[in-house]
Structure 1
């Protein structure tokens, strides 16, 4: 493998070194998504974008498919034979909601900039989470943990003070908000939207059942109180 990276480094006329290629390939596998918008990732993205065919050749025997979205400027690695997920139910639900929010934002033309991100504050997130799942958004500590996990998956990031170019989006929450990243459409495909629809139906049914039970109990209480 070292000789392969050496050959690529030589073909770059000294622009990249052997370790640059190895590091880019490792990061792609470890992080799953590499965004050009992230300053510390631009070198790795540049290598993967320019040498996509070569990186693909290296990772294919490992059962990993490589792709580059040159419009939204991100590279991704998808296992072709994924192992059973170890994601918890809250992590899965949170990811499903993020996927649904991204689709809603795309349809409404709410893309923040050329990075393809959809911005969401915590007030909207709380409302949409309840509507999509029939459950309340987890409390702050658990929510922050879910955001960190989703960030490791490459599908979300926390808004930061440096996001001054997003000021005109009027994020209402004092805690800022999140940016749902475009690779979520690759990481969580169409089947994810179907799963979200099932969760929504289940949540609505649960809520409806709870309302019916409450109504039945109220009727019974009224009957017991009748003379």
Structure 2
């Protein structure tokens, strides 16, 4: 595989080294989504955007499909054979609620120029209760869930997004920025799971592991 990246590097007119290209492929496989809007991912995005076919060919043997959204400028990787057991019920429910909020906002044109949706904590708590039948997790658990969403590339806190605190925050510590790749990572069919979770909602989160977010995205095919 090193020869593969060396050959690609030679075609880049010395703009990228084989190590940079190989590391970018690794990052995409691990992080799942790389956004041009994120300063630390801009060079990686441009490499994938320029050599999309080559990155796709490199990751196909690993069962990973590579796609690039050039309009909103992000690249994402979807495992074709994701295994169950990589996400907890709490993580899965939270991700599905964010996807539903994103779809609702998108349907009425409430997207930023970057295709993102801003949701304050008051609205999030209300939507979470209506959609899941549970109360929004308290601060410690919510912060942990947001870290997971950030790692999956589907949402992050406004404070991590470089947004300034202002009057729109209405005294809240942060707003949730739901990122556009959530529509790719979590397929339409995945939203039906919210009904199942709501039907069996309980006061306490279960530690049981469930289907991964990546597998939820696969189910849309």
For residue 21 of structure 1, what is the aligned residue in structure 2?
21
User: Secondary structure at the residue paired with 2:75?
Assistant: strand
Map 1:1-227 onto structure 2 (within 5 A).
1-113=1-113, 115-160=114-159, 162-164=162-164, 170-200=168-198, 202=199
Deviation at 1:198, TM superposition (A): 3.8
User: 2:60 and 2:134 mapped to 1: Cα distance?
Assistant: 40
TM-score normalised by structure 1 residue count: 0.83
TM-score normalised by structure 2 residue count: 0.86
User: Secondary structure at the residue paired with 1:7?
Assistant: helix
Deviation at 1:136, TM superposition (A): 0.5
| Structure 1: gaps spanning 5 or more residues | 207-227
Number of equivalenced pairs? 201
> 8 Å contact 1:135–1:203 — kept in the other structure?
no
User: 1:136 and 1:79 mapped to 2: Cα distance?
Assistant: 32
User: Secondary structure at the residue paired with 2:87?
Assistant: coil
User: 1:194 and 1:143 mapped to 2: Cα distance?
Assistant: 23
User: Secondary structure at the residue paired with 1:176?
Assistant: coil
Q: Looking at CA atoms only, which structure, 1 or 2, has the larger radius of gyration?
A: 1
Deviation at 1:167, TM superposition (A): 5.9
Q: What per-residue deviation string (whole Å, max 9, x for no partner) do you get for residues 38-70 of structure 1?
A: 000000000011001001111101111110011
Deviation at 1:87, TM superposition (A): 1.2
User: Secondary structure at the residue paired with 2:162?
Assistant: coil
Residues 140, 198 of structure 1: CA spacing in aligned structure 2 closer, same or farther, 3 A cutoff?
Answer: same
Deviation at 1:196, TM superposition (A): 2.0
> 8 Å contact 1:120–1:171 — kept in the other structure?
no
User: Secondary structure at the residue paired with 1:110?
Assistant: coil
The structure with the largest helix share of the pair is 1
Structure with the larger RCO, 1 or 2 (CA within 8 Å, 6+ apart):
2
User: 2:171 and 2:102 mapped to 1: Cα distance?
Assistant: 19
Q: What per-residue deviation string (whole Å, max 9, x for no partner) do you get for residues 91-121 of structure 1?
A: 11101100101001101211122x2110011
